[in-house]
Structure formats: C-alpha cells, structure tokens
Amino acid sequence: MRKQRGDSAEEMRRYGTGSYNHVSCVWRIKEKKDKNGKVIRPNLAKSTKQLGDILGCDVPKSEAGSRPYWMRFLQMVKDQQQKAKAAKSPLPERIRSLESLINDFKAKGRDTASLEIALRDAQSVSEWDTDHSDGPILHPDLERHGAILDTVGNLDDMTVRVLNSLAPKPIASKDSLFAEIDRYIGLKANSPPIKLSNIKKVLGHFKDVAGPIRLQDLDSSVWANWHHFVNVNNSWGPTTKRDKDKLVRSFMHYLAGKHNLPFGFLKVKEYKFAEPDGNKEQWTLEQVKEALATATDKNRTILLLGLNSGQIQEDITTNIPDMISDGRLTRVRQKNTWQVKPLKGTWHLWNETSKAMRYDIQRFGKELKTRARPVC
C-alpha cells in the first residue's frame, strides 16, 4: 500500500516552494492530485504586491528578497489548514490541551518533541474515527501520579483534569522573565553588532541562572545566585565581571521602572563588584625598543600598527592595501563600521609601518588575518 502523504501545505514545504516569475513578480505552486483525483497540493499564486497586502509590509520584487515573505505566507496557509482540520477533529479537547502544554514548555525552554508528536497524532485522526475518546492529556510532570491511579483503575478524564489543576500554571507573557528579556533585547536592536551580541550572551547567562520564572519571583536568592555565577567564573577578569554585572543591573532597573518592582537587593553592597583599579600594564621606552628590535614578520607589523595608529586586533586584521596612500592610513575603525555614516580616520604612517604593512599583507594575505589574532 502506498504511503499517504501529509496535508497540502506540508507538501509545499517538502516537495518545493514554487517558482518565481521575474516578469510578473509572481510566486506560484501548481496544483497536484493523487491517483484518485484528490488534491494533495493546491494551486497557489501570489504577486509580491499581494504578499505585501497580506503581510502588511513592503515586499521586494526580487526572487531572493521576496522568498522569506513567500515562505511566511506558506506557513500561514499551513496554520489555517491545521486549524480547519482541528475544527473537524473528533479530539478537539486533546488538541487544545496539547497546544497549551507545548506553548507553556516553549516559554520555559523545555523540550517539546514528545508533545509535538502526540499533537500530530491527534490531528491526524479522521473526523469519522470512533475508536478514540476525546479528553485532556495528563501533564508530563504528573505522569508518575497518573500511573499509580491508572493501576487501580481510577484514572479517567475527571481525574486528569483535577491532576492538571495541580500542575504549575503557564506564565503569561507579561509576567515572564524570559519574555521581558526578549523584549529588552529587541529594544537594543539598533546597538552596534558587537554590543548587541554581548547583551544577548550576558542576558542568556542570566536566563540560565534565574530559570523560567515570573517577574514577581525575582528576589534576593535569584540575585545571589547570579552574583555567585559571575564571581566563580575564573575565565573572566575583574573588569569583565564588573561589566557583565553592570549590564544585568541595567536590565533589572528597566524592569523595576516598567513594572514598579522594588528590587531592594540591588543596593546590597555584598552583591556588588568592586570597580577595578584601572591600572594598565605600562611599558617603558626601553621595553618598547627591545620589542621592536626582536619582533619579526607579522609580530613586528602588529606592534608597529599599535604604536603608530593605536589599532587593536579587530582593526589590524581588517587592514587592506587600498587603505594606504601617500604615507597615510585612511579607514573606518572596525568598531564603527555598523554606523550608517561612519567617520573615517587618517593616520600618518612611519616609514617602517608602511613598508611592513604592504609587505606582510602581500606576503601572507588571509594568513595575516587569522594568525594575527592570538598575538594581540
């Protein structure tokens, strides 16, 4: 017997996403039928203008630019088909119960694989099926209690509902710490890429420490755990620890102002990291002369660039010959390349620096870019 294929929208995703007409700017998927004449993939066609009207945004007229919007439209079609199918399903309560659990588990960062399999099984039951009884699914955290009741024949739909009422309630988005962290990161979307990446990483650490809790559950014990997590990380120096803690404190003050939460523990001195003394290692003139006298190849170039133009690792590894003209280095600092109109700087190069740059870039090419990193 031939294996039955999935619903029509799933067919689109699995067997192709359609073709794009570059003249009319239209995406199209042709209708497909099985041997019995049943439509297993509908005929769909939408222009970029129609996609824009449906999705409420401007859609580019190129194939590459409009593809993400076409895929969003296909997902919408799939979701509509699943809703229509669920409306005809003989197991509506089971499907609602599973969908609620899946949303709750995703909000808490828990695995949903088994629940999604159970949901697909429930959705695949035919509307004419009489072998399955409808009812809520038991919360996975209560399966041990359910097994005990099942052995004595007392596990019915009413018992499942009572047990589920004892399970932890889903956290609403407005009360969820995880949701607020995501919203806060969204507010920082226009920050420099390096800074935004750091915000995501640090708040990701805070997520791991705090866990999926309500905002009202953010108390001194959570903050003490965060302070301990940062303090015992030996791979971070004093300045890094202070900066990470400062970033999370900014987020906490944002929460306190937005939700009127009294985070008094933020003022406790025990949970504050001392400001580093700020004393950098100073090189004497004799040490610099000795370093220049003994450095060779790429190391000498890196040292000269640092002394001559104050470049750091990310600048040194992105220099190209075109930036050098008439004895000057003209370029945008790498940390400012994200800006719409970044300011270009110009540095007068020493003869030694200019010669070393041209020689090393020409000699090593990409090798200079990759092998220079550990040196700085």
Q: Find the length of the chain.
A: 376
Q: Give the count of alpha carbons within 13 A of 345, CB side only.
A: 13
- pLDDT at position 2 is 40
Domain extent, residue 315, equals: 285-375
pTM of the model: 0.48
Among candidate residues 224, 240, 271, the one where a domain is terminated: 271
Res. 211: pLDDT tops 80: yes
Q: Is residue 253 in a domain?
A: yes
Please, which contacts does 246-251 make with residues 24 or more away whose CB atoms are closer than 8 Å? 247/198, 247/199, 247/202, 247/203, 248/202, 248/203, 248/206, 251/181, 251/184, 251/203, 251/206
Q: Are residues 12 and 77 part of one domain?
A: yes
Total of domains in the chain: 4
Q: Is residue 42 in a domain?
A: yes
Q: Are residues 350 and 304 part of one domain?
A: yes
State mean pLDDT over 50-76. Answer: 87
Give the model's confidence band at 17: pLDDT under 50 very low, under 70 low, under 90 confident, else very high. Answer: confident
Among the ranges given (27-36, 189-198, 209-218, 289-298), the one the predictor scored with the smallest mean pLDDT: 27-36
Q: Are residues 294 and 267 part of one domain?
A: no
Q: Are residues 265 and 180 part of one domain?
A: yes
Among candidate residues 143, 166, 189, the one where a domain is terminated: 166
Please, which contacts does 101-109 make with residues 24 or more away whose CB atoms are closer than 8 Å? 101/137, 101/139, 101/140, 103/170, 104/170, 104/171, 107/170, 107/171, 107/173, 107/176, 107/178, 107/179, 107/212, 108/171, 108/178, 108/212, 109/178, 109/207, 109/212
State mean pLDDT over 50-68. Answer: 87
Tokens of 369: 């870019």
Q: Is residue 2 in a domain?
A: no
- pLDDT at position 6 is 42
For residue 233, what is the domain's CATH number? 1.10.150
Q: Are residues 113 and 154 part of one domain?
A: yes
Q: Are residues 253 and 185 part of one domain?
A: yes
